[in-house]
Amino acid sequence: MLTINKSDIVDGLLLGLMADMHVVKDKLVYFENKYHVSYEVFEQTVKNQEEDYKQWDDYIEWKAYRHLFEDISRKISDVKNADFEVT
């Protein structure tokens, strides 16, 4: 029978989550550099101007990456605090 330490599981989970986080951060920086504004400023601009489909698509994608960033951050916190269950 194989015995796996909880710390090995934590390390493996964190490694995967950190890799995912790196990809998401790169996308967030990409949009900030593309538009030279924060997400909040871009959101207001998109919502208050005449519809621009390219910007609207970027807004939806940027928003999704922000949500993904928050989700991964929560998961990292849960893993670091050993707040998970193996089933």
Domain annotation covers residue 87: no
Domain annotation covers residue 58: yes
Domain extent for 67? 20-80
Domain annotation covers residue 1: no
Domain annotation covers residue 27: yes
Look up the pTM and report it.
Answer: 0.87
Of 5-9, 15-19, 61-65, 82-86, which range is least confident?
82-86
- How many domains, in total, are found in the chain? 1
How does pLDDT run across 13-51, given as a tens digit for each residue? 999 999 999 999 999 999 999 999 999 999 999 999 998
21 Cβ neighbours under 8 A, 6+ residues apart? 69, 72, 73, 76
pLDDT of residue 83: 84
Q: What single-letter amino acid sits at 83?
A: D
- In percent, how much of the chain has pLDDT > 70? 100
Radius of gyration of the chain (CA): 18
Domain annotation covers residue 7: no
